[in-house]
């Protein structure tokens, strides 16, 4: 029953993650061009609708995972295909919540890490799709990590959380600034700095070294694979956020000791 409850909560949060993934980047762009439009666009408005026929969805169309199965992957009005990303996000989030409940127990700590994982998943998908890491999520990651540590919900002192956040931001800022001064090109955006600051707030400063090594190596391997299979974007850019997020979740589950042993 406990696992079923965790999975159900995960599906609901996965549905909300889909809203964040779809709407936050568009909201960022709408705010950027606010002087060109007066139409409201946020997480609540307009109501959920089919992106093809724009018909508002009914409650039965918004049941996480089950609606996709019931509708056989097609809109209930115009019969256009529904992106498989939506159920994939919901299922992945549900499984992550079950994993957190299994690893940490059914308690506040597990709830914190489940929210952490859901936020990282949303950030990773948004960055991969749009190369954006919205402040709404990266700043929330920083502050939630500090609050969780200050409240004793995570096995990390507030001092370690603060220094993890400060060092995480500073390291990538220094690397990106140095790269830009030498090459005249922008290597990564400020969103990556803020994401690593959030990861540092949750995992502490000692986790940043193996985290960056793992994220850099996996990103490099993935980028080279895309290049050799001729699927790399013409500009050669591969978002770094998904690899930071994956490394952060890995360290959250297994800790830093196995990675230090492997690196040693």
pLDDT score recorded for residue 61: 75
Give the residue from 205, 202, 208 showing the smallest Cα distance to 146.
202
Asked if 78 and 112 sit in the same domain, the reply is no
Assess whether 58 and 143 both reside in one domain.
no
> What pLDDT digit, counting tens, does each position of 218-247 carry?
999 998 888 888 787 776 688 999 999 999
Alpha-carbon gap, residue 83 to 86, rounded angstroms? 6
pLDDT at 7: 95
Listed residues 58, 88, 106: the one ending a domain:
106
| pTM assigned to the model | 0.91
Examine the domain organization and report whether 86 and 132 are in the same domain: no
Same domain, 241 and 122: yes
* pLDDT value of residue 226: 85
Do 171 and 229 reside in the same domain of the chain? yes
- Looking at the structure, do residues 79 and 171 belong to the same domain, yes or no? no
Last residue of some domain: 106, 124, 151? 106
Task: State which residues form the domain around 138.
Answer: 107-264
Give yes or no: residues 72 and 36 share one domain. Answer: yes
Give the residues of the chain that fall short of pLDDT 50. none
Question: What is the tally of structural domains in the chain?
Answer: 2
Whole-angstrom Cα distance, residue 191 to residue 208? Answer: 17
97/130 same-domain check: no
Residues 25 and 89 in one domain: yes
- Domain end among 106, 140, 165: 106
Same structural domain, 20 and 34:
yes
Long-range contacts of 142-151 (CB under 8 A, 24+ apart): 142/194, 142/197, 142/198, 142/201, 143/201, 144/112, 144/115, 144/116, 144/119, 144/201, 145/116, 145/198, 145/200, 145/201, 145/202, 146/201, 148/112, 148/202, 149/201, 149/202
What's the confidence (pLDDT) of residue 31? 66
Instruction: Specify the pLDDT at position 263.
Output: 56
Given this model, what pLDDT does residue 42 score?
A: 67
């Amino acid at each position: 029953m406990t696992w079923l409850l965790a999975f159900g909560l995960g599906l609901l949060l996965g549905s909300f993650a889909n809203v964040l993934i779809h709407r936050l980047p568009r909201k960022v762009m709408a705010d950027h061009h606010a002087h060109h439009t007066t139409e409201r666009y946020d997480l609540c408005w307009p109501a959920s609708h089919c992106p093809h026929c724009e018909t508002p969805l009914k409650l039965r169309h918004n049941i996480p995972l089950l609606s996709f199965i019931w509708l056989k992957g097609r809109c209930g009005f115009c019969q256009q295909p529904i992106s498989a990303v939506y159920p994939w996000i919901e299922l992945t989030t549900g499984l992550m919540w079950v994993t957190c409940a299994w690893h940490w127990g059914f308690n506040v700590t597990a709830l914190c890490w489940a929210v952490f994982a859901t936020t990282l998943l949303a950030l990773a998908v948004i960055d991969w799709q749009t190369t954006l890491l919205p402040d709404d999520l990266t700043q929330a990651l920083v502050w939630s990590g500090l609050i969780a540590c200050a409240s004793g919900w995570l096995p990390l002192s507030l001092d370690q959380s603060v220094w993890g956040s400060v060092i995480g931001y500073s390291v990538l800022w220094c690397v990106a600034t140095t790269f830009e001064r030498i090459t005249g090109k922008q290597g990564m955006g400020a969103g990556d700095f803020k994401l690593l600051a959030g990861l540092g707030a949750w995992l502490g400063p000692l986790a940043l070294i193996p985290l960056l090594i793992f994220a850099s190596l996996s990103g490099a391997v993935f980028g080279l694979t895309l290049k050799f299979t001729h699927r790399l974007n013409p500009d050669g850019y591969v978002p770094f956020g998904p690899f930071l997020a994956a490394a952060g979740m890995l360290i959250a589950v297994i800790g830093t000791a196995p990675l230090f042993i492997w690196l040693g």
